[in-house]
Every structure is written in structure tokens, then in C-alpha cells.
């Protein structure tokens, strides 16, 4: 529980607002539609706890919706438009700035969000004077022995080994492994020779319906909780380092210029 005076204390210590950003979207027959939000929340909370003696943080409630047109039309998908997501992130940044906090880190769990969050961060610097950053936590580096455990490699895109393992570690009751099936991998591999393949160098307006009947892209059948615990721990360490770096990052000079004489 966070009260107003605790937020003021984070501001007084030049702390960092951690804003988890997820999605509500289909995650195949075996994972909850809240998977990305649960991952973002858990990472933000764990990283905030890890740095507690060094950096003051305010871990905000998660934004449970994201940009999900690639899953539109499947039951359980509730996506925001790009315009709405940018409006909400600006509103969140406005409130953080008004609370006196000048550093913000979006802790993102959904693969459809990063491009818009990058735009949001640059706008928040311009409009709100914030030092705003975004990190896509599933993309943080994994130790080689863990990366080798993902048999489908780069095609572990959605509800596959990574997400299923991490949820088995965080909230096993939310996973139905009996329903887990490999899907989508053959379809993406078959398109590999095309310059307009999904997940290649060219931006392609892919939709999950092009690739997967079940809604899975990857192989969740290899998932296990131990792998998930180790991946989570390694990536929380990496995220904590990013929080420390954000706390040490210079504030945008235009904010300093606009301050009303209050001492840093």
C-alpha cells in the first residue's frame, strides 16, 4: 500500500516511478489473458524490492491493457488503440510529474507495446519534462544455458516456453499445462525465405490468425517452473541495474530551466 506522503518521499529522494504495462489478450488455451500484465507487475515489484536500499521507487498499479491488434478478434483480447495508449501514458506521466517525480520507467510485459512506449517516452520528455524510459522485460538477456533451453529459439513469440515457464514460477494455478500445445512455429519457419516474413527486418502487419490456430506461437510443452524461476531471477537482476541507471540519469535540462527555484 502506498500513501501520498510515501510518493512525496520518493520525489524528495529523486526516485523513480516504475509503471508496469501489460495487455489483456488471448494467450492460447493454457495461459490467462492477463499473462503479460502479471509478468510486468511481478518484475516491477521484484526490481523495486531489490534496489530498496539504494533507489527510492514508487511501483504504480499496472496498466492492464496494451496495443494488441495482432490478437484482435480472439475472445479475451481487449486492446487499446495507439492513440489511446499514447494518451494514457501521457496522463500517467503528467500525474507523476505533478507528484514531483522526474524519472519514470515503463516496465513492459507485452511485445506489441515497445514501439509506442518509445514514442511515449520522447513525448514525455518534451511535454512533461520527464526523464522517461521503457524496458521490455521478456527481451532482457538470459544466461546462455537458459537461452539454450528454448528449443524454438527466436520463434518463442507468444504463450510459448518463456511465458509459460515464468507463469509456472509466478502463479502456477493460472496455467493449464494439459492444454499446452506447440503451434505457429512451422508456419513462421515456412515463411522464413520471404523478405516479408513475420518478425523479420521488414515491419509486417502480422496477425496471429495467419500463423496459429490455437493462438500460441512457440512451444509451451517444454516449459517448466524451475526454468521460469531462474529466468525471472536473472532478468530481475538486469532490470534492477536498469532502475539504478535510470535513477542516476541526468534530468532533461528543459525541466531544470522550468523549475520554480526549488533546490535539487
Q: How far is the CB of 178 from Zn ion (least distance, A)?
A: 20
Q: Would you say 36 or 41 has its CB closer to Zn ion?
A: 36
Alpha carbon distance 17, 219 (integer Å): 35
Q: Between 64 and 93, whose beta carbon lies closer to Zn ion?
A: 64
CB of 109 to Zn ion, least distance (A): 7
* Contact between 219 and Zn ion per CB under 5 A: no
Which residue is closest to Zn ion by CB?
Answer: 36
- Of 24, 34, 36, 218, the one binding Zn ion by CB under 5 A: 36
Q: What is the rounded distance in angstroms from the CA atom of residue 60 to the CA atom of residue 41? A: 9
* Binding range to Zn ion, per CB under 5 A, among 31-39, 59-67, 189-197, 223-231: 31-39
* Alpha helix ranges (H) inside 51-184: 82-98, 114-128, 144-147, 161-170
How far the first Cα of the chain sits from its last, in Å, is: 27
Burial 225-244 (b: 16+ CB within 10 A, else e): bebbebbbeebbeebbebbb
51 Rama sector, left if φ>0, alpha if ψ -120 to 50, beta otherwise: alpha
Q: Select the span of 36-44, 66-74, 80-88, 188-196 touching Zn ion (CB under 5 A).
A: 36-44
Q: Collect all residues with Cβ–Cβ distance below 8 Å to 209 and sequence separation of at least 6.
A: 73, 74
Minimum CB distance to Zn ion, residue 235 (Å): 15
Tell me whether residue 35 or residue 108 sits nearer to Zn ion (CB atom).
35
Least distance in Å: CB of 27 to Zn ion?
6
Measured from the CB of residue 180, what is the shortest distance to Zn ion in angstroms?
A: 14
Helix (H, G, I), strand (E, B) or coil at 225: helix
Cα–Cα distance for residue pair 72/65, rounded to 1 Å? 13
Question: Which strands make up the sheet holding 57-59, listed edge to edge?
Answer: 57-59, 16-21, 103-108, 131-136
Residue with smaller CB distance to Zn ion, 215 or 252: 215
Under rule CB under 5 A, which residues in 83-122 are in contact with Zn ion?
Answer: none
Q: C-beta of 30: minimal distance to Zn ion in Å?
A: 12
The number of residues that bind Zn ion (CB under 5 A) is: 2
Do 27 and 215 form a contact (C-beta atoms < 8 A)? yes
Rounded Cα distance, 167 and 17, in Å: 25
| Piece in contact with Zn ion (CB under 5 A), picked from 28-36, 93-101, 176-184, 198-206 | 28-36
In the bound state with Zn ion, the residue whose beta carbon lies nearer, of 28 and 48, is: 28
Nearest distance from residue 148's CB to Zn ion, in Å?
Answer: 22
Where do contacts with Zn ion occur on this chain (CB under 5 A)? Answer: 35-36
Amino acid at each position: 500500500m502506498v500513501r501520498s506522503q510515501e510518493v512525496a518521499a520518493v520525489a524528495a529522494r529523486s526516485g523513480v516511478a516504475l509503471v508496469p504495462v501489460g495487455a489483456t489478450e488471448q494467450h492460447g488455451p493454457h495461459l490467462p489473458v492477463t499473462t503479460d500484465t502479471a509478468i510486468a507487475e511481478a518484475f516491477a515489484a521484484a526490481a523495486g524490492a531489490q534496489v530498496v536500499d539504494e533507489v527510492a521507487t514508487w511501483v504504480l498499479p499496472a496498466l492492464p491493457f496494451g496495443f494488441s491488434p495482432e490478437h484482435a478478434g480472439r475472445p479475451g483480447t481487449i486492446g487499446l488503440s495507439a492513440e489511446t495508449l499514447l494518451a494514457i501514458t501521457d496522463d500517467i506521466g503528467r500525474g507523476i510529474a505533478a507528484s514531483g517525480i522526474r524519472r519514470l520507467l515503463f516496465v513492459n510485459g507485452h511485445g506489441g507495446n515497445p514501439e509506442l512506449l518509445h514514442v511515449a517516452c520522447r513525448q514525455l520528455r518534451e511535454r512533461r519534462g520527464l526523464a522517461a524510459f521503457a524496458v521490455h522485460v521478456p527481451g532482457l538477456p538470459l544466461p546462455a544455458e537458459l537461452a539454450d533451453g528454448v528449443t524454438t529459439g527466436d520463434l518463442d513469440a507468444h504463450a510459448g516456453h518463456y511465458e509459460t515457464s515464468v507463469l509456472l514460477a509466478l502463479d502456477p494455478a493460472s496455467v493449464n499445462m494439459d492444454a499446452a500445445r506447440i503451434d505457429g512455429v512451422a508456419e513462421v519457419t515456412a515463411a522464413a525465405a520471404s523478405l516479408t516474413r513475420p518478425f523479420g527486418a521488414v515491419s509486417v502487419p502480422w496477425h496471429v490468425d495467419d500463423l496459429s490456430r490455437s493462438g500460441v506461437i512457440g512451444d509451451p510443452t517444454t516449459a517448466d517452473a524451475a526454468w521460469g524461476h531462474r529466468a525471472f531471477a536473472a532478468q530481475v537482476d538486469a532490470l534492477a541495474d536498469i532502475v539504478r541507471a535510470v535513477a542516476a540519469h541526468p534530468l532533461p535540462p528543459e525541466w531544470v530551466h522550468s523549475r520554480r527555484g526549488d533546490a535539487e
